Structure 1
Amino acid sequence: MSLLSPDVDERTRARTDSPWVTVVWDDPVNLMSYVTYVFQQHFGFSRERAERLMHQVDAEGRAIVATGHREAMEAHVQSMHGYGLQATVDRAPEA
C-alpha cells in the first residue's frame, strides 16, 4: 500500500474544490418568455438579468446561470429539469 504524495493530494483537492457551473442549453421547445420566467423564479434574477441570460441561451446555444459548489449546481440542474429546461453541470472555466 502506498500513500499519495502531498503534491498529488493537493492537486486532487484543488480539482474537486474548484468552482462548478450550471449551464442551461437552448432547446426548440421552451418559449423565451418561459425561460425568462424560470430564471426569475428559481434564481431570483431581475427581469433584465433573466432576459440577458435567456438571449445568451438563444444566441449562443447555452449560458452559465450559476457558479458554486458541485452539490449546489447539481441541485440547480435538477430544478431546471423539473421546469423542463435542458441543463448540465460542468467545471467552471479557468479565469
Structure 2
Amino acid sequence: MGMNLMAAPDTREDVDLNQSVVPDRPWQTVVWNDPVNLMSYVVRVLEQYFGYPREVATRLMLSVHHDGHAVVAEGPREQMELHAQAMHDYGLWATIRKAPQ
C-alpha cells in the first residue's frame, strides 16, 4: 500500500482541479421568482413541503421576491431533483445546481 511519490503529474488540460479537490460538493434546489404565484402561496408551499417554520419560509420567499431566487434545499443530486420536481408539481419554477464553493 505504498505511494509512488515519483508519479508524473497529470498535465491534461481538461482536468477540473476543483472537481477533484471537492468531489462531494452538494447540490442545491433553487426556487425562482415568477409573475404568477402569490407570496403567501410560496410561503405555504415551503412550509408544507419542506416543513420550514413560517419565519424561515417567509425569509426564503422574500429572497425569491427581492433577489429573483432562493436556495431552498441542499444535498445529494437525486434528492434535489425530487425537490425540484415537487416544486414544479406545486406550480413553482425550480432548478438544481451544484453548490458554489
- 1:60 Cα deviation from its structure 2 partner: 0.2
Aligned equivalents of 1:41, 1:26: Cα separation in 2:
19
**In the TM superposition, what whole-angstrom CA distance separates every residue of 1:44-77 from its partner, at most 9, and x where no partner exists?**
0000000000000000000000000000000000
Kindly report the root-mean-square deviation, in angstroms, between the aligned alpha carbons of the 2 structures: 1.8
1:26 is matched with which residue? 33
Give the structure-2-normalised TM-score: 0.79
**Which residue of 57, 68, 71 corresponds with 1:64?**
71
Structure 1 unaligned spans of 5+: 1-6
Aligned residues between the structures: 85
**Which residue of 81, 85, 90 corresponds with 2:92?**
85
- 1:82 Cα deviation from its structure 2 partner: 0.1
2:56 is matched with which residue? 49
Query: Which protein has the larger Cα radius of gyration, Structure 1 or Structure 2?
Result: 2
Larger % of helix: which? 1
Aligned equivalents of 1:84, 1:30: Cα separation in 2:
8
Deviation >4 Å, runs of 4+:
none
**In the TM superposition, what whole-angstrom CA distance separates every residue of 1:15-55 from its partner, at most 9, and x where no partner exists?**
xx320000000000000000000000000000000000000
Identity across the alignment (%): 58
1:4 is matched with which residue? none
- 1:13 Cα deviation from its structure 2 partner: 8.1
